[in-house]
Structure 1
Amino acid sequence: MAKQAPDKMKRKDYEKELLKLQTELCHLQAWLKQSGERVIVVLEGRDAAGKGGTIKAITARVSPRTFRVVALPAPSDRQKTQMYMQRYVEHFPAGGEIVIFDRSWYNRAGVEYVMGFCTREQHRRFLELCPVVERFLIDGGTRLIKIWLEVGQEEQERRFKARIEDPLRQWKLSGMDLESYKRWYEYSTARDMMLDYTDRDHAPWHIVHSDDKKRARLNVIAHILSSIPYEKVKHAKVVLPARVTRDKYDDKASIAGRRMVEERY
């Protein structure tokens, strides 16, 4: 008997759990700064699988200097002549940083292959060499976490239709999204080939079902936290120092008469 899908998570429960996980991300951030560790999170998945919302949940309460998000556009003419991985490598983390790739070098295994933006030989060569490159990266001391968000056909269709009807979300819908919707099974085949070649013990893929966005976000954050052996860093208690006083200086009067934003609210 097929396992019945759980009901969508209630917002109140979601926000309670999210706050707990975001607190742990702050502890992770402090540990990263102290330890100098380097972490890469590769976040891939089908279009409308929820990558953007997941990244917002991860980064909402941490520093963008420590948690950097990289979402590269299509390569320029110059970049097309470079070694394929070159434009990604320049965004890799320094010590004390975690870089989240909102799509990554795995574009070659997905959209580039399905849409014919690379040759079959380039695709095959990428799949064969990718585990070698990732082994080199990991042996150099970088932690690599690879996550695939998997959304179902019906839920993807619902989300695309919502984008069409909602002016606040129409910007999310591109011509490439429509092509990906049409080519569902081609993308499925490409995904499976990618997993066959690049799901290795030293750089495994972990799949997250994302029909329920709330549960997916929580599961992704919990997985990231469980993949890094961080510890809570002890901080000295902070005490605000006394302000230096300046007699007869009225800092409120000094800006009176300046151009002020109209208080509409």
Structure 2
Amino acid sequence: MKFASYSVDGQGYYGAVTETGMIPLSPEFPQWPSLRDALVAGGLDTLSDAAAAREVAHGDVSFDMVLPDTTRILCVGVNFPDRNAEYKDGSDLPKHMSLFPRFASGFTGHDQPLVRPPESPQLDYEGEVAIVIGKAGRRIQAADAYGHIAALTICNEGTIRDWVRHAKFNVTQGKNWDNSGAMGPWIVPFTDAAQLDDARIITRVNGEVRQDDVLSRMMFPIREQIAYISTFMTLQPGDIIVTGTPTGAGARFDPPVFLAPGDVVEVEVNTIGTLRNPVKDET
């Protein structure tokens, strides 16, 4: 079962995704005003059961950022061996993972435009898998980490490249431009380790493959990410961890190839689906 946040005629809903349209579920569960509320309450199974007994009601919809009211998004940087080599600084593989925050306002939904701001032409793409925490925990052991995941989704962790260089140690301002990235199209409940262990990320720009790698090559696997992050902060249901992007972002081409209006970016993860977004200039 797949669940999405979406809008019809300006009205927001969440519901189950089918081949022919959406089954609205939010009107049936007023105790859970948002999809995140349902997830935090452990209600994904209840939503699945409800969807099985209902019919598609919405066909032409506008996808929203899949969990638009999420409060904590933490991203893992430089998490594939080839990504570390891209920096050409002669450094060994890092001992600890790099982390930075992103905010929900920086993400749009599936089929919605990524917005290039007038302050910079350096809008770039980063295809990634994102995990959504479903069970709280502190100092979680790596062996137990998968038990704390409720769902998976896809992230295009769009970045304004020159703005990540505005300060010596801080990339936050380059990572949080409004609608510069996307998350969705939906969440899928996490029920099987193979959903992560066998996952492959492919990012295409205008049909051309730019990124292609498997999660099993991560320097810091997702189990270790959960263990490390939960050492210094209590992970809570609804928290999102964006787990790292493979080599091949536009900034690493020679010369760099950034996104321009009219481009279309697709991030495909074989165990989740495909997140697609056009690019436009801010107006």
TM bin, normalised by shorter chain, reads under 0.3
What TM-score results when the alignment is normalised by the length of structure 2? 0.27
Instruction: Please tell me whether Structure 1 or Structure 2 has the larger radius of gyration of its CA atoms.
Output: 1
More strand, by proportion = 2
- The TM-score normalised by the length of structure 1 is 0.28
Higher helix proportion (structure 1 or 2): 1
